[in-house]
């Protein structure tokens, strides 16, 4: 098949997740994959204008080949995003006219989505919208009502809606009252990548973690709904009676400065460790430093229907997981996976602290149970087989 993926972020700069994995894995199966991106953050005074089309090697799987395309950009942040809503039209029209695509997989929402659906229908190419999160809730913005309106139009007009978990599917159908087909496709997870590393004692030492310390890890973006502020306050209380407990924060984002100040104000220097963003290649080493992993996302709409990839990666690494009971996670794993559920971020830290004091053998047993659950649903083969089958059936029976 010839497949066009469309997203409004930078393919090279974005933190690795399924927008890299699905295209590259499909490329490795012999499909011709094109990816239309937006080079966010590019500044003309810092870097030379990249070519608007180039064949690149995969980010996760270097042996994969991706035909990377972007519309014209001036290199002026903010202005480029606005202009891209227009400059994407001729770029996308040419792609669809000459590309002979069998399907379009659409990730974009505010910048490219409606243009993609309109032009794909014009060229009789079926569109799959891949629903990962509640776009109008990701960041606080005066544009949120407009983005929500765009969401509703996408969900209603796309030929097929592919959600990454059951709660996301229910949200999309409910918001748009769509009558078309909606399918749940779990994202692919390279289990072996997270199982290859053993505990790195040198890394623990470099991070200031002593031999007898117990470590709780949080990994991911520091969004406003992360729950980390409350988590830090709870950790401060617990650490008074548990001096060997450390909290490792792997990642960064909009809350970074606020969290660092809170750590200082609470007197947690040396107990809370910030690593900044870590490469995908090194991520397993940092996860294996810990005894227990946490997901503290607040159970609001945006988190409830999303599917935090961090939890899957924790499980693949064999780390016992404590998480807020988010709808998407709970509907997927229930009680059988060995995840410890809590009602809020403070409860997550309390449960993780208690869990971290268990023996290595007990923690290993929990980790093995969780690894079995995530392997069953998210292995590369099972996830890719189902997604590929859906694209093939849509191509045969869809608009073309």
Contacts of 354 (CB under 8 A, 6+ apart): none
The reply to whether 183 and 240 lie within a common domain is no
The domain that contains 65 carries what CATH number? 3.40.50.2000
184 and 245 in a common domain: no
How many other β-carbons are positioned within 10 Å of the β-carbon of residue 256? 15
Q: How confident is the model at residue 324 (pLDDT cuts 50, 70, 90)?
A: very high
Instruction: State the burial class of residue 393 (Cβ atoms within 10 Å of its Cβ: 0-12, 13-18, 19+).
Output: middle
How high is the pLDDT of residue 400? Answer: 45
pLDDT for the residue numbered 140: 74
pTM of the model: 0.85
DSSP SS3 for 99 = helix
| 213/164 same-domain check | no
Average pLDDT over residues 161-184: 93
Per-residue pLDDT for 397 more than 80? no
My answer on whether 36 and 159 are in the same domain is yes
Q: Are residues 164 and 38 in the same domain?
A: yes
Average pLDDT over residues 339-361: 96
pLDDT 10s digits, 189-230: 888 889 877 788 899 999 999 989 999 999 998 988 899 999
Q: Same domain for 253 and 367?
A: yes
Same domain, residue pair 200 and 163: no
Q: What is the pLDDT of residue 396?
A: 66
Calculate what percentage of the chain has a pLDDT beyond 90. 79
Beta sheet of 2-6, edge-to-edge order: 53-57, 65-69, 32-36, 2-6, 103-106, 127-131, 160-163, 181-184
Residues 291-317: what's their mean pLDDT?
Answer: 93
Of 2 and 394, the one with more pLDDT: 2
| pLDDT reading at 399 higher than 50 | no
Q: CA-CA distance, 261 to 397, in Å (whole number)?
A: 56
Say if residue 167 is in the same domain as residue 275: no
pLDDT of the residue at 51:
83
How much is the average pLDDT of 152-168? 95
- The mean of the pLDDT values for the chain is 93
**Distance between CA atoms of 308 and 321, rounded to whole angstroms?**
12
pLDDT-based confidence at residue 47 (cuts at 50, 70, 90) = low
Same domain? 7 vs 86: yes
Could you tell me if 240 and 362 lie in one domain? yes
Which residues span the domain enclosing 348? Answer: 191-378
The answer on 153 and 130 residing in a single domain is: yes
Question: Do residues 356 and 391 both lie within one domain?
Answer: no
Number of domains in the chain: 2
């Amino acid at each position: 098949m010839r497949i066009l993926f469309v997203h409004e972020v930078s393919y090279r700069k974005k933190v690795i997740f399924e927008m890299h994995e699905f295209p590259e894995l499909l490329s490795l199966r012999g499909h011709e994959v094109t990816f239309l991106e937006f080079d966010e953050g590019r500044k003309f005074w810092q870097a030379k204008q990249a070519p608007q089309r180039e064949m690149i090697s995969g980010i996760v799987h270097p042996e994969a080949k991706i035909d990377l395309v972007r519309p014209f950009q001036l290199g002026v942040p903010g202005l480029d995003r606005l202009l891209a809503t227009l400059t994407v039209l001729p770029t996308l029209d040419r792609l669809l006219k000459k590309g002979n695509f069998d399907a379009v997989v659409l990730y974009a929402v505010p910048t490219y989505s409606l243009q993609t659906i309109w032009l794909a229908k014009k060229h009789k190419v079926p569109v799959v919208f891949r629903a990962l999160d509640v776009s109008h809730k990701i960041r606080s913005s005066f544009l949120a009502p407009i983005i929500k309106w765009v969401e509703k139009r996408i969900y209603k007009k796309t030929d097929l809606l592919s959600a990454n978990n059951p709660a996301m599917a229910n949200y999309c159908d409910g918001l748009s009252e769509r009558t078309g087909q909606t399918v749940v496709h779990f994202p692919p997870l390279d289990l072996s990548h997270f199982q290859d590393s053993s505990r790195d004692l040198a890394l623990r030492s470099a991070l200031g973690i002593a031999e007898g310390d117990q470590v709780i890890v949080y990994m991911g973006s520091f969004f406003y709904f992360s729950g980390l502020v409350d988590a830090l306050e709870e950790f401060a209380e617990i650490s008074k009676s548990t001096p060997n407990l450390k909290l490792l924060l792997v990642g960064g984002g909009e809350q970074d400065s606020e969290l660092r100040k809170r750590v200082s104000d609470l007197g947690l220097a040396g107990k809370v460790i910030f690593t900044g963003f870590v490469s995908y290649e090194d991520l397993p080493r940092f996860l294996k430093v810990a005894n227990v992993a946490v997901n503290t996302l607040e159970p609001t709409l945006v988190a409830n229907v999303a599917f935090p990839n961090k939890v899957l990666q924790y499980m693949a690494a064999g780390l016992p997981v404590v998480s807020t009971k988010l709808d998407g996670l709970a509907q997927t794993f229930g009680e059988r996976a060995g995840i410890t559920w809590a009602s809020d971020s403070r409860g997550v830290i309390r449960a993780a602290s208690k869990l971290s004091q268990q023996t290595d053998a007990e923690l290993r047993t929990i980790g093995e149970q969780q690894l079995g659950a995530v392997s069953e649903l998210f292995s590369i083969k099972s996830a890719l087989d189902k997604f590929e089958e859906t694209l093939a059936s849509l191509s045969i029976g869809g608009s073309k």
